């Protein structure tokens, strides 16, 4: 689970601060390349929920989501330090679930979840237990990991991954706390 959370830019900072109190059903990346190593990314997170066991933890999760990630300039600054220039961030509700989208530009493809460019291929290395829902690349398995591979003729790299099964009543849906 930690590896999946690391893959999620939107919650990297969240994970460090709350040690995984928020989770999501799935995350999707659309990477549009402007050159071999630069471009823009759209990250979409579906069904954001909290694992809070009490009101204090729930309030911390709400602050992280709706103050830090959604509104804070500190978040923008931290992501810039990581080579991710945030251009937009938003939350929205679909089917009573809180979803989020963040867009950013980059000058170094390795800053996008450690994707590597080794001409003529781009690749993302994942743990075997990570669940890829879809990709426009090819998945190759080894005994130690799996990789999504795209050839450099592609101008858009896409992949979606499963996070957690969020349908359980033990998780708190965050849509009810979102003020549009």
Q: How are strands ordered across the β-sheet holding 121-126?
A: 116-118, 121-126, 146-151, 138-141
Cα–Cα distance for residue pair 121/119, rounded to 1 Å: 5
Q: Take residue 95 and report the two structure tokens written for it.
A: 């089917």
Backbone phi, psi, residue 148, to 5° = -95, 130
> CB-based burial of residue 50 (10 Å sphere; 0-12 exposed, 13-18 middle, 19+ buried)?
buried
One pLDDT digit (tens) per residue for the chain, 180 residues = 333 433 443 444 434 333 448 999 999 999 999 999 999 999 999 999 999 999 999 999 999 999 999 999 999 999 999 999 999 999 999 999 999 999 999 999 999 999 999 999 999 999 999 999 999 999 999 999 999 999 999 999 999 999 988 777 789 999 999 987
In DSSP terms, 121 is beta-bridged to 118, 151
Domain ranges of the chain: 2-107+155-177
**171 three-state secondary structure:** coil
Q: Are 132 and 139 in contact (CB under 8 A)?
A: yes
């Amino acid at each position: 689970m930690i590896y999946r959370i690391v893959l999620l830019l939107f919650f990297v900072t969240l994970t460090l601060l709350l040690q995984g109190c928020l989770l999501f059903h799935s995350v999707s990346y659309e990477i549009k390349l402007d050159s071999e190593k630069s471009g823009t990314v759209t990250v979409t997170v579906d069904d954001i929920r909290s694992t809070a066991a009490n009101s204090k933890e729930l309030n911390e999760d709400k602050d992280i989501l709706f103050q830090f990630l959604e509104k804070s300039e500190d978040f923008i600054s931290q992501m810039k330090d990581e080579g991710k220039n945030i251009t937009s961030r938003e939350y929205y509700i679909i089917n009573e679930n809180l979803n989020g989208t963040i867009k950013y530009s980059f000058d170094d493809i390795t800053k996008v979840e450690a994707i590597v460019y080794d001409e003529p291929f781009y690749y993302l290395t994942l743990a075997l237990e990570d669940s890829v829902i879809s990709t426009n690349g090819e998945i190759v398995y080894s005994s130690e990991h799996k990789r999504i591979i795209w050839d450099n003729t592609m101008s858009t790299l896409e992949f979606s991954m499963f996070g957690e099964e969020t349908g359980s009543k033990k998780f708190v849906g965050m849509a009810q706390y979102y003020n549009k």
